[in-house]
Structure 1
């Protein structure tokens, strides 16, 4: 996933500062995910608690940016954009729901009872994130196919000014 992410950043980089920042946040999230997924037989889950909490915080920041800052600017108002929205948003919501359940379980305090489930939950989260990233990539492809670079920057500026 990480090498694919770097390829996407090279492909799409520089066209939109908002997308660049979002993809950089995705890369950071993936790096932390990989660090957690790497087995460390000498460390207990309790000893990794700060890493888990940090990952959960990054996950929430990433999810929030997508839902509240990025998605709407990726969809055009034409028929193909509306179809993409109808197809993608319910699937994105399901990935968000799973990530929120993961965050609720592990972000505040990791208990010894979580040890057994953590590895399986993290693996399932990885699959969920892979699904989410593929959906998000379709949204980005749509934006880049339907808007020119100047129009993309204008849309981003309008949204920034509205905040």
Structure 2
């Protein structure tokens, strides 16, 4: 998963600052997920890291929904690219389902009390979150590749 993130950054790096920053957020999110997944068992001393994960997760999905996807939709409309709009309509429901999982994770572990009450379930929750987010990243990469890159080439 981390390797795919690096590949995406290398591929689209410099194309658009907003996407670059978002992909950097993704990289940091993946690194923290991997770190926490490798911890295995958790204690109350891990709570700050888990709360950081929750913050990063909510920030990442928010930027996607309220900035990146909107920008890609605007580009599709600007270039009168009906195929891009169809792709957006196809992939956004898939992405939305992962957003629900991310929000549920956040709600479950966002505070010290929430987190400490469910430490035993945390390893499973992190593994499940990683799987869902990996699928989301593939959908997002497809959006970037098929929408933004195509429109960047047309504007060049």
- Same fold per superposition (TM over 0.5): yes
Deviations 1:23-80 (A, max 9, x none): 0010011111111111255xx3311000000111011110110000100222313221
1:146, distance to aligned residue in structure 2 (A): 2.4
After superposing on structure 2, the runs of 4+ consecutive aligned residues of structure 1 that deviate more than 3 Å are 110-113, 149-152
Aligned to 1:139: 143
Aligned to 1:58: 56
Gap runs ≥5 in structure 1: 153-163
Aligned to 1:129: 133
Q: How many residues align?
A: 150
TM-score, normalised relative to structure 1: 0.85
Q: Greater share of helix residues, 1 or 2?
A: 2
Aligned to 1:8: 8
C-alpha RMSD of the superposition: 1.8
Gap runs ≥5 in structure 2: none
TM-score, normalised relative to structure 2: 0.88
Deviations 1:8-36 (A, max 9, x none): 11111111011100000100111111111
1:150, distance to aligned residue in structure 2 (A): 8.6
Aligned pairs for 1:1-163 (under 5 A) are: 1-39=1-39, 44-75=42-73, 76-77=76-77, 78-109=81-112, 110-148=114-152, 151=155
| Aligned 8 A contact 1:74 1:142 in 2 | no
Deviations 1:87-108 (A, max 9, x none): 1111111100010000000011
